[in-house]
Structure 1
Amino acid sequence: MRVAIVLGGSSGIGQATAVELARRGTGVIVTYNGNPAGVQQTVALVEKEGGTAVALRLDIGRTEGFAAFRDQVVVTLRETWQRDTFDYLVNNAGFGGSAMFADTTEELFDRFLRVLLKGPYFLTQRLLPLLADGGAIVNVSSSSALPTGHVDVGYSAYGTMKGGLNTLTRFLAKELAPRRIRVNAVSPGPTRTRLADADGVVGFEAYPEVIPMLAEKTALGRLGEPDDVGAAIASLLSNESRWITAQNVEVSGGFDL
């Protein structure tokens, strides 16, 4: 059985990805930080699909915890799947939020940096010896960081980190190619998730009035759902995408087309 690690698996895109992978026969390690109830729901949904999931706590913004997390992964792989390696890594953990450029503090900038770029960079590095040859990585970016993406005011810090993640995707694809490890990114457009902002406010739950406006600007006429993105991630990880690497796939339904 193939095994995936899905970061940020307690809700939204991470949860949908874990469930979709389970449907395809893949075991899943899902991480969570501040939402233990959510990750237990993810485990239950995976088991409902006949799959196996194990939840591990991880704060992606604290690199000092990565060595202990790696040790937990080693134990989990051996005890649950009798393996020493895993096959897929989904760098999805993060948080949203905005601040005008003039109002962006160093504290907020550094938090975006730790969670959205530094964390994925060094956690991937830490886990790389456990990633099987022929495996795959998907980094979850944002359509706002694409050269053709919609640019809205207030997202300079967030977009900068996601842009860095896009660059990392290409360089990793080159460096890991000798091991036949493919590295791609997905860039979701507006998606109905529980992604909290820097103040802990949950996006579409707090501002439901923006949903019709976003649907109006989307070519396919609705807001994106986590399942839409989870399916794309699972497809990029799978053998059906075996000849795809170093790509960034926009998953937005034609937002702002």
Structure 2
Amino acid sequence: MTAASDNNTTRIALITGASRGLGRNSALKLAEQGIDLIISYKSNEAEAQEVARSAQALGRRALALQLDVADSRSFAAFAERVKTALAGTWQREQFDYLVNNAGSGVHASFAETTEAQFDLLVNVHLKSTFFLTQALLPLIKDGGRILNTSSGLARFSFAGYAAYAAMKGGVEVLTRYMAKELGARGIAVNTIAPGAIETDFGGGTVRDNAQMNAQIAGVTAMGRVGLPDDIGSAVAALLSEGNGWMTGQRIEVSGGMML
């Protein structure tokens, strides 16, 4: 097989916010499946480059590019950097999979949530999923896939997450519209909705607070809190080659929380 044909058959995934947490785990699970990577990071270049090196150690090509998903004005320039990276590293014009993973959390009661907190969540979760995907559309291969990220909190409710969950509800509705409109290009669009996971997200509360951890485990059918591997493995499964006929769906990966 020639290098050119190998470049054309290799699958490439772009994952936002992949320097740590669920994005990092998802990136490495995809690399284990033979998928090359473009990952984005907001500020921690060292961690992002370490993820890229880990993917390269698995035999994959991987690049890390800076992106602040809260700044929609930067999306056009980011798309140009992706285009340049595709041409330079893969001799290709398009990639296969987009995973809109980057996110941040705010824990505040409905009564105390500030407009600034609300606006930041809009920009990071909802506006970025809409407009970053829009900017990258010419670079996504026909027959490719987009995986957006929601949360179990869009289905069940815990005090302190009203604004965050509202954004995720918006992402779920947006996913269905994206699936409807991009179906003509053969692009499948779905949402993954993780439950409570032991990461540093939100200050690591689920991971580090033993009482909260036990409380969540008690309302979860599988009897424990989720781990990053649970989500990374699910992302890899959803982007596996046999899943192209599923679109417009919300897939919750929570171990059966609040059933």
TM-score computed with the length of structure 2 as normaliser: 0.92
- How far apart are residue 205 of structure 1 and its match? 5.5
Instruction: Specify the SS of the correspondent of 1:41.
Output: helix
Instruction: Tell me what 2:194 maps to.
Output: 188
- How far apart are residue 238 of structure 1 and its match? 2.2
Check whether the contact 2:79–2:135 (CA below 8 A) recurs between aligned residues: yes
Aligned partners of 1:210, 1:204: CA distance in 2, in Å?
A: 6
2:56 counterpart (32, 43, 47): 47
2:246 counterpart (244, 247, 252): 244
Instruction: Specify the SS of the correspondent of 1:50.
Output: coil
Instruction: Tell me what 2:121 maps to.
Output: 112
Aligned partners of 1:76, 1:57: CA distance in 2, in Å?
A: 13
One-letter amino acid matched to 1:14: G
Q: Residues 51, 209 of structure 1: CA spacing in aligned structure 2 closer, same or farther, 3 A cutoff? A: farther
- How far apart are residue 190 of structure 1 and its match? 0.3
One-letter amino acid matched to 1:250: E
Aligned partners of 1:26, 1:48: CA distance in 2, in Å?
A: 13
> For residues 106-145 of structure 1, what are the structure 2 equivalents within 5 Å?
106-145=115-154
Instruction: Tell me what 2:7 maps to.
Output: none
2:179 counterpart (164, 170, 173): 173
**Structure 2 unaligned residues grouped into runs of 5+:** 1-9
Question: Aligned residue pairs: how many?
Answer: 250
2:74 counterpart (65, 70, 76): 65
Aligned partners of 1:30, 1:194: CA distance in 2, in Å?
A: 19
One-letter amino acid matched to 1:207: N
> For residues 61-100 of structure 1, what are the structure 2 equivalents within 5 Å?
61-100=70-109
Aligned partners of 1:220, 1:202: CA distance in 2, in Å?
A: 21
RMSD: 1.3
> For residues 15-54 of structure 1, what are the structure 2 equivalents within 5 Å?
15-54=24-63
Aligned partners of 1:10, 1:104: CA distance in 2, in Å?
A: 28
Check whether the contact 2:151–2:193 (CA below 8 A) recurs between aligned residues: yes
Check whether the contact 2:18–2:27 (CA below 8 A) recurs between aligned residues: yes
TM-score computed with the length of structure 1 as normaliser: 0.93
Aligned partners of 2:214, 2:53: CA distance in 1, in Å?
A: 32
Aligned partners of 2:50, 2:204: CA distance in 1, in Å?
A: 18
* Divergent runs of 4+, >6 A: none
Check whether the contact 1:10–1:42 (CA below 8 A) recurs between aligned residues: yes
Check whether the contact 1:215–1:221 (CA below 8 A) recurs between aligned residues: yes
Aligned partners of 1:174, 1:227: CA distance in 2, in Å?
A: 30
Aligned partners of 1:252, 1:88: CA distance in 2, in Å?
A: 23
Q: Residues 203, 31 of structure 1: CA spacing in aligned structure 2 closer, same or farther, 3 A cutoff? A: farther
Aligned partners of 1:253, 1:204: CA distance in 2, in Å?
A: 15
Q: Residues 192, 205 of structure 1: CA spacing in aligned structure 2 closer, same or farther, 3 A cutoff? A: closer
Instruction: Tell me what 1:56 maps to.
Output: 65
Aligned partners of 2:245, 2:63: CA distance in 1, in Å?
A: 30
Instruction: Tell me what 2:222 maps to.
Output: 220
> For residues 195-206 of structure 1, what are the structure 2 equivalents within 5 Å?
195=201, 197=202, 201-204=203-206
One-letter amino acid matched to 2:62: A
One-letter amino acid matched to 1:7: T
Aligned partners of 2:200, 2:55: CA distance in 1, in Å?
A: 19
Larger helix proportion of the pair: 2
- How far apart are residue 35 of structure 1 and its match? 2.4
Identity rate of aligned residues, in percent? 46
Task: Tell me the alpha carbon deviations over residues 47-92 of structure 1, each in whole angstroms, 9 at most, x when there is no partner.
Answer: 2222121000100000111111111101111111111000000000
Q: Residues 194, 44 of structure 1: CA spacing in aligned structure 2 closer, same or farther, 3 A cutoff? A: farther
